[in-house]
Amino acid sequence: MTEINDTNQNERLDFVRQIVADDMASGKWDGRVVTRFPPEPNGYLHIGHAKSIRLNFGIAEEFGGKCNLRFDDTNPCKEEQEYVDSIIEDVRWLGGGFGDKPLFGSDYFQQMYDWAVSLIKKGKAYVCDLTAEETRQYRGTLTEPGKDSPCRNRSIEENLDLFERMKAGEFPDGSKTLKAKIDMAHPNINMRDPVMYRILHAEHHRTGDNWCIYPMYDWAHGLEDSVEGITHSICTLEFENHRPLYDWFLDALEIYHPQQIEFARLNLTYTVMSKRKLLQLVKEGYVSGWDDPRMPTVCGLRRRGFSSEAICNFCKVIGVNKFNSTIDFALLEHCLRDHLNKTSPRVMAVLKPLKVVITNYPEGQSEEMDAINNPEDPNAGTRKVPFSKVLYLEEEDFMEEPVKKFFRLAPGREVRLRYAYFITCNEVVKNDRGNIVELRCTYDPETRGGDAPDGRKVKATLHWVSAKHALDAEVRLYDHLFNKENPDEVDEGNTFLDNMNPNSLEVVTNCKIEPFLRGTKALDRWQFERIGYFCTDTDSSVEKLIFNKTVGLKDTWAKIQKQQQK
């Protein structure tokens, strides 16, 4: 587990911001700061991407620069417009201001091609006939040097001719590549004549069939950064070994050269973050879609009820550093609760209803109780909650034979109904099977509003809903999608799918909600008193109300921290 910055440490610059601040001070980039967030449109964004978004857009905001949203769309096979659209929506939602339009790496294909030609002319690139398999064999290993390709010493003229014919579509997929001529004995395998272009007769989601050669990531990425005048090209640690190649290409071309900086990616307990695995969960139906509220995707978290403020604050709290670590999911929930507590109106909802009849309350009568919408927010005001003779209480708030420390309702016992009256349970009604189906209680009219004039106390305050005013709802309760802290830790022969939690979703139908929520819209956030934070689902309608449980009220992170301090 990682150590978390406290608020004071947050004031100190992280190492990336320190580099930017130093560059501003020295005038290295003439006072410019240009960053970019470069997703490949081959999946939906997840909470790990949020860390990168907040870092890149955050730096641009703080230093008066700009941050580009640039699609790294150089691989035609896995990319789709659906992903482009979802990424734009999610980046905007996370506060990424990227001007009026996103940029696309594919817009630079011609420029990249021209630069490749210029490398060939400098004798620094060649067309190679080795197959993918042969290229692997020639590359060598960490301990052995590679071998030169038989094509390595082709003449510049021949290379220019072959490369042009590759582009013209004369050769089948995989039959040739363009490679950088660097050093087959280089200690860094990435520098052993890496492939720059491969032949792929495939439709691209933006360029159609204009191209049948496509640039490799390492070749394309630095060029995209260079074209856009990026100053700080911030990426995750696994690209550290690729930096020499990033630098080599830009130096060999003698073009504008940004600085690549690597930081540690975000890992979270009970979560997989690989796009390939998330795609598999979606495609194979383990979840209902990319926005399934159990998914760590930005749209999944949003549908679950996360606010962008909570996610941004989480990114701030975890900070940025150079060491890979795994963050406890409870910390994300802690940041979430913190924001929801301040912003979510409180309402009453009964998930598993138990019918209660107030025997001494007049038949047919009802009245309206004043309820505070959010004690944390004085501007949130109050609302009316209807009270009547028949109510619902939470099943688990009653015990016929109360155990020790159970202070809620029981036969002969008096409790407070929130914002309403004291009630006392006099009778338990059961069906033929012995199940409790109804409680018969009396109320004390003197206790209206929740206080007894004689000063007598009760040990519990329960939430409730008036039966004849209640709205029916479906409530979906969630748990982690995986039951292992590290879902990728698997036994021999198993996959991460074997670590899925079979109980990650519980659908509770027949819940009873106070009428205030009648017109609720998708993604409205609520606190159901005493239960947790909830959010109106995107499939919810007036005919069928559906709520997602966002997070419970108990702060497990605070508890973990207390234990650590002991």
Site string for ligand ATP, 256-285 (x = CB under 6 A): ---------xx------x-x----------
Has 92 been annotated as catalytic?
no
Strands 366-372 and 414-417, sheet pairing: unpaired
- Minimum distance, C-beta of residue 537 to ligand ATP, in the bound complex (Å): 27
Give CA–CA dist 245/23, Å, rounded: 23
Q: Does 51 bind ligand ATP (CB under 6 A)?
A: yes
Q: Does 48 bind ligand ATP (CB under 6 A)?
A: yes
What are phi and psi for residue 136, nearest 5 degrees? Answer: -60, -45
What are phi and psi for residue 34, nearest 5 degrees? Answer: -130, 115
Has 40 been annotated as catalytic?
yes
DSSP per-residue codes, 265-325: PP-BTT----HHHHHHHHHTTSSSSTT-TTS-BHHHHHHHT--HHHHHHHHHHH---SS--
- Minimum distance, C-beta of residue 268 to ligand ATP, in the bound complex (Å): 9
Smaller CB separation from ligand ATP, 96 or 345: 96
Q: Does 139 bind ligand ATP (CB under 6 A)?
A: no
**Which span sits near ligand ATP by CB under 6 A: 35-43, 165-173, 300-308, 542-550?**
35-43
Smaller CB separation from ligand ATP, 35 or 344: 35
- Minimum distance, C-beta of residue 468 to ligand ATP, in the bound complex (Å): 50
Tell me, what DSSP letter sits at residue 402? P
Let me know if 95 is exposed, middle or buried by CB neighbors in 10 A (0-12, 13-18, 19+): middle
Alpha carbon 225 to its chain's center: 26
Strands 213-215 and 103-104, sheet pairing: unpaired
- Which of 35, 52, 177, 447: binder of ligand ATP (CB under 6 A)? 52
- Which of 2, 188, 207, 236: binder of ligand ATP (CB under 6 A)? 236
| Closest residue to ligand ATP: CB criterion | 48
Q: Does 222 bind ligand ATP (CB under 6 A)?
A: no
Catalytic residue (one of 17, 28, 152, 265)? 265
Catalytic residue (one of 167, 206, 275, 337)? 275
- Which of 5, 42, 374, 538: binder of ligand ATP (CB under 6 A)? 42
Tell me, what DSSP letter sits at residue 48? H
- Beta-carbon neighbour count of residue 404 at 10 Å? 5
What are phi and psi for residue 523, nearest 5 degrees? Answer: 75, 5
**Which span sits near ligand ATP by CB under 6 A: 47-55, 111-119, 481-489, 532-540?**
47-55
* Sheet containing 66-71: order of strands: 34-37, 66-71, 103-104
- Minimum distance, C-beta of residue 500 to ligand ATP, in the bound complex (Å): 20
Give CA–CA dist 296/292, Å, rounded: 9
Q: Compute how many residues bind ligand ATP; rule: CB under 6 A.
A: 14
Q: Does 235 bind ligand ATP (CB under 6 A)?
A: yes
Catalytic residue (one of 17, 28, 32, 40)? 40
Give CA–CA dist 267/488, Å, rounded: 11
- Minimum distance, C-beta of residue 72 to ligand ATP, in the bound complex (Å): 6
**Which span sits near ligand ATP by CB under 6 A: 41-49, 298-306, 440-448, 495-503?**
41-49
Give CA–CA dist 372/346, Å, rounded: 8
Smaller CB separation from ligand ATP, 92 or 121: 92
Smaller CB separation from ligand ATP, 105 or 305: 105
- Beta-carbon neighbour count of residue 548 at 10 Å? 24
Smaller CB separation from ligand ATP, 86 or 540: 86
Smaller CB separation from ligand ATP, 278 or 458: 278
- Beta-carbon neighbour count of residue 81 at 10 Å? 10
Residue 24 has which token pair?
Answer: 């501003």
Maximal C-alpha separation, the chain? 102
Q: Does 230 bind ligand ATP (CB under 6 A)?
A: no
Q: Which residues are catalytic?
A: 40, 265, 275
Binding site for ligand ATP (CB under 6 A): 38-40, 42, 48-49, 51-52, 235-236, 265-266, 273, 275
